[in-house]
């Protein structure tokens, strides 16, 4: 697997990367940023039994894939724009192609397909790590430069330095 390459990036991508890894829900699910390369983001999630969709199967709940796609998509906006500004998910559409086995880690590969001053169009594939089988695809639209406090990855509710 590619070693994390955060240090090689522009400040904007490095800060967005750091921000993504600090998100409480991402931390709870154990999401990790694997790489950001030429506008493409790769994130990873190791399944745990409380993420399953039924007691008697080891299938990961689709909603966990959804969360991973939303997080990877958000980071892909910054990977595409190379500029820090608050963003918000406008909509996200997921297609669940195959059941996701709890035996294998999930990988999310997100790319920014098109960027305007106001919106970013993102595509994300969710794969199983072992056999690289495509489990789900997502298309999301993010609003850029939304109202809110300034972007800051260092802590809670503080103004950006």
Partner 1 sequence: MSTTGDSAQPISGAGESGKECPDWQALLERIPYARHLGLEVQRGDAGVLVHLPCREALIGNFMLPALHGGVLGALIELTARVAAQSQDTETRCPRILDSHINYLRSAKARSTFARADIVRQGRRTSLVQVTCWQGDENKPIATGQVQLLLPTMAAQQEDRHGH
The residue range among 22-30, 32-40, 77-85, 123-131 that interacts with partner 1, by the rule CB under 8 A, is: 22-30
* Gap between the Cα atoms of 37 and 56, Å rounded: 39
Q: Based on the shown chain and the rule CB under 8 A, indicate whether residue 52 belongs to the binding site for partner 1.
A: yes
CB 9 → partner 1: shortest distance, Å? 21
Which one among 10, 62, 101, 145 touches partner 1, defined by CB under 8 A? Answer: 62
- Indicate the Cα dihedral angle 60, 65, 68, 72, nearest 10°: 140
Binders of partner 1 among residues 98 to 157 (CB under 8 A) are: 99, 148-149, 151-152, 156-157
Size of the site for partner 1 (CB under 8 A): 40
- List, in order, residues 6 or more apart from 79 with CB less than 8 Å away: 13, 16, 36, 39, 40, 41, 112
Which one among 26, 111, 125, 127 touches partner 1, defined by CB under 8 A? Answer: 26
Encoding tokens for residue 146? 């939304």
Which one among 91, 116, 117, 161 touches partner 1, defined by CB under 8 A? Answer: 91
Contact 64, 54 (CB under 8 A): no
- Residue among 14 and 61 whose Cβ is closer to partner 1: 61
């Amino acid at each position: 697997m590619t070693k994390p390459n955060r240090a090689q990036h522009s400040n904007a991508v490095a800060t967005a990367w750091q921000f993504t890894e600090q998100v409480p829900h991402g931390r709870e699910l154990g999401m990790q940023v694997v790489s950001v390369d030429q506008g493409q983001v790769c994130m990873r999630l190791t399944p745990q039994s409380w993420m399953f969709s039924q007691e008697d199967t080891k299938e990961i709940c689709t909603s966990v894939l959804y969360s991973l796609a939303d997080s990877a998509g958000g980071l892909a906006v910054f990977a595409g724009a190379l500029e820090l500004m608050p963003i918000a998910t406008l909509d996200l559409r997921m297609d669940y192609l195959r059941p996701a086995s709890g035996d294998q880690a999930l990988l999310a590969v997100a790319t920014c397909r098109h960027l305007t001053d106001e919106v970013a169009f993102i595509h994300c594939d969710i794969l199983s790590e072992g056999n690289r089988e495509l489990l789900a695809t997502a298309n999301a639209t993010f609003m850029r430069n939304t109202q809110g406090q300034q972007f800051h990855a260092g802590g809670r509710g503080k103004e950006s330095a």
